[in-house]
Structure 1
Amino acid sequence: MRALVVRGGWEGHEPVACTELFRPSLTDAGYEVEVAETLDVYDDRAALERADLVVQCWTRGSLTEAQEDNLVERVRAGAGFAGWHGGVTATAYESRKYHYMVGGQFLCHPGDFVDYDVDIVGEHPVVDGVSSYPVHTEQYFCHVDPGVTVLATTTFAGLHGAPENAGTVMPVVWLRDFGAGRVFVSTLGHGPDDLRVPQTRTVIERGLLWAGRAVTR
């Protein structure tokens, strides 16, 4: 099996340090890991064909129409696509087919770093044995496809200058079947410290393997 890790973009999300945290779990699961530090890899159909799993950590930036089509078509054909935070939800804003595949798009995080709870709401191997837990990080407000499978949520309190979001229940972790492929998204993961929170790390590690079919269900 082969995992293609695509990392770069805005350095505030520390794409190299963050993706390196998950390399051991990928190799332990039997993946040969290939790293690309340019979105031009999505022009390389051969590289995409080799990939059973694409792990993307690329905030901001844009995709050409050809790059978008190649990536979306590869996932629809059976590859997994997985990532976290702005690396998948706050990139390529103009690429509608990409965001349709991902199932959500970042809009804002009122208050920047705040305290809130992550509530586990689904039953799935990705969250098996994980209980709801508190975090101190950005609380992502996204537009999310109602057809995704939600495994964790957070409830906004209407604070930090956004009273209109009081009581809004927002997905934090979701899965999506996309053609023959699988998509995993976590809105947690601003940087290495967030990803080292045991519950967050466990869920993301499992989500990557689920998307790449190392977890079958």
Structure 2
Amino acid sequence: MVRGGWTGHEPIACTELFRDFLEEHGFEVRTAENLDVYTDTSLLAGIDLIIQSWSGGRLTPEQEDGLVTRIRSGAGFAGWHGGVVATGYEAPRYQFMVGGRFLCHPGGFVEHTVDITGAHPITAGLSSFDVRTEQYHCHVDPALEVLATTTFAGHPEAPETAGTVMPVVWTRRFGAGRVFVSTLGHSPADLLIPQTRTLTERGLLWAAG
């Protein structure tokens, strides 16, 4: 678990929600609170899954190269909300790997529906559900495998978004690696919503292979 950055997203509390789950599935969980961990190639070589929760981070070229190279060679990368899509804006290889970048959330915390759209082990048995949280508007790679979406109503802050269907949960293959991203997860309370937690837990396991 690589965690830090803007504390408003509670990166430590959010990642700790999944420690017991991961250990129950046989993982040895380590934590890092410095992005320089991505330059430790010997450490990364033994890692099956990197969970990142680091909003507002700036990756050095060396950090970006270490992370992207390890994922492309077969590790999994997973995360949620600003911890993965609102960070590393100056790192094009990272952005390409993740497949989406946060732009805005018109209206702040708003009621909206998350629609399950993809047939996948991550979404099996789940139905669409309602949330009250930030509705992320992102720029996304059209090649993503989208598993859930949301439709914007057109908040007065951004009326032009009315009718826009935006990915919420996606996966992608990246070389020999797997990437899982969910834009849900502003706080621990958001991640504890049963459907969101199930999506996230399954996404972590899928990314780990």
- Return the TM-score normalized by structure 2: 0.99
**2:45 alignment partner, SS class:** helix
User: What is the alpha-carbon root mean square deviation over aligned residues?
Assistant: 0.6
Cα distance in 2 for residues equivalent to 1:47 and 1:144: 31
Cα distance in 1 for residues equivalent to 2:32 and 2:105: 29
Cα distance in 1 for residues equivalent to 2:185 and 2:151: 18
**2:17 alignment partner, SS class:** helix
Cα distance in 2 for residues equivalent to 1:160 and 1:151: 28
Aligned residue number for residue 44 of structure 1: 40
Deviation at 1:196, TM superposition (A): 0.4
Deviation at 1:160, TM superposition (A): 3.2
Aligned residue number for residue 168 of structure 1: 164
- Return the TM-score normalized by structure 1: 0.95
Q: Which runs of 5+ in 2 are unaligned?
A: none
Aligned residue number for residue 111 of structure 1: 107
Question: May I ask how many residue pairs the two structures share in their alignment?
Answer: 209
Aligned residue number for residue 148 of structure 1: 144
Aligned residue number for residue 71 of structure 1: 67
Residue 9 in 1 paired to residue 5 in 2?
A: yes
Q: Deviations along 1:80-125, whole A, 9 cap, x unmatched?
A: 0000000000001100100100000000000000000000000001
**1:130 alignment partner, SS class:** coil
Cα distance in 2 for residues equivalent to 1:155 and 1:69: 35
Cα distance in 2 for residues equivalent to 1:160 and 1:181: 40
**2:78 alignment partner, SS class:** strand
Residue 139 in 1 paired to residue 139 in 2?
A: no
| Greater alpha carbon shift after TM alignment, 45-54 vs 165-174 | 45-54
Q: State the identity as a percent.
A: 67
The match for 1:190 among 186, 191, 195 is: 186
The residue type equivalent to 1:211 in the other structure is: A
Q: Deviations along 1:1-40, whole A, 9 cap, x unmatched?
A: xxxx100000000000000001111111111011001101
The residue type equivalent to 1:87 in the other structure is: G
Q: Which runs of 5+ in 1 are unaligned?
A: none
Residue 122 in 1 paired to residue 118 in 2?
A: yes
| Greater alpha carbon shift after TM alignment, 145-154 vs 158-167 | 158-167
The match for 1:58 among 42, 46, 54 is: 54
Cα distance in 1 for residues equivalent to 2:35 and 2:123: 31
| Greater alpha carbon shift after TM alignment, 129-138 vs 22-31 | 22-31
Q: Which runs of 4+ in 1 moved over 3 A?
A: none
